[in-house]
Amino acid sequence: MIICKTEEQIRIMAEAGKKLARIMEKLEKMVKPGLTTENLNRVAETLIFECGAIPVFKGYEGFPAALCTSVNHQLVHTPPSDYCLKSGDILTLDLGLKYRGFCADMAKTMAVGKIKPEAAFLIETTKKALEIGIKKLKPNHTFGDVSAAIQKFVEERGFQVVRELCGHGIGKELHEDPQILNYGRPGEGEKIKEGMVVCLEPMVTVGHWRLKKSADGFGYETADGSLSCHFEHTVAVTSRSPLILTK
């Protein structure tokens, strides 16, 4: 069941989202060759507590950290480690928090040092796909309209959208209905209504879209070892235009 939020609940979620966006901005400024992903995680957890929130990922289905740190072919849910970032890597930071009983969730892929043109184009494409999907989040559109727009743009640029993972609703729980695919057909799926709050998260690969479970038991990575990319925002549906809460 999709739970629509009240104006007051969306206001609280916007506060949570703003706190999260500020933390993500600070983490991105830290990213450089030689830094370990565990170091980023420690800073992320400290900043979450300092702003009066709690890390919503830590302990979720056993996940051991506050921050997901996926590198290159690793797509999502990769635990931080002693891995030292290298120039040429692309790094996805995925972070969530709970504030005053409501969750916010976002992800961003970024360059480490100087990256190859294909990697830069992948990041640009995935970021733009998220923007395109958000523009479709309007009352009386369907989630199929959102999914189809993301898929069309990504595939026109020569990349693939992941089929095995998806976006989701969010609120008092990190994952709520509906599930929002990154592929589909216009007009299909649930109608979008004012008050819905969702996480759109295009996940894009250079090679085949099939994934495999990572050796760590938590993460997912491309089955063929190709580069992958992931962007995510928490967005509220309003009568006027979509409201990005994690901005």
Contact 211, 165 (CB under 8 A): yes
- Domain coordinates of the chain in residue numbers? 7-244
Q: What is the pLDDT of residue 2?
A: 95
Q: Stretch 76-96: mean pLDDT, rounded?
A: 98
Residue 17 to residue 10: CA distance in whole angstroms:
10
pLDDT classification of 56: cutoffs 50, 70, 90: very high
pLDDT in tens, 137-166: 999 999 999 999 999 999 999 999 999 999
Residue 105 to residue 245: CA distance in whole angstroms:
9
Closest by CA to 96, choosing from 204, 151, 9, 168, is 168
Question: How would you list the strands of the sheet with 203-205, edge to edge?
Answer: 160-161, 203-205, 228-230
Q: What is the pLDDT of residue 69?
A: 98
pLDDT classification of 82: cutoffs 50, 70, 90: very high
**Could you tell me how far CA 161 lies from the centroid of its own chain?**
14
* Cα–Cα separations (whole angstroms), residue 235 to 16, 98, 170, 180: 12, 15, 9, 13
User: What predicted TM-score, i.e. pTM, was given to this entire model?
Assistant: 0.97
Closest by CA to 37, choosing from 86, 89, 81, 88, is 81
Q: Stretch 191-215: mean pLDDT, rounded?
A: 98
Question: 3-state DSSP: the chain helix, strand, coil percent, rounded to 5?
Answer: 30, 25, 45
Rounded (10°) CA dihedral 108, 243, 57, 69: 0
Q: What is the pLDDT of residue 199?
A: 98
Residue 185 to residue 219: CA distance in whole angstroms:
28
Q: What is the pLDDT of residue 105?
A: 98
Q: What is the CATH number of domain 7-244?
A: 3.90.230.10
Portion of the chain with pLDDT greater than 90, in percent = 100
User: For all residues of the chain together, what is the average pLDDT?
Assistant: 98
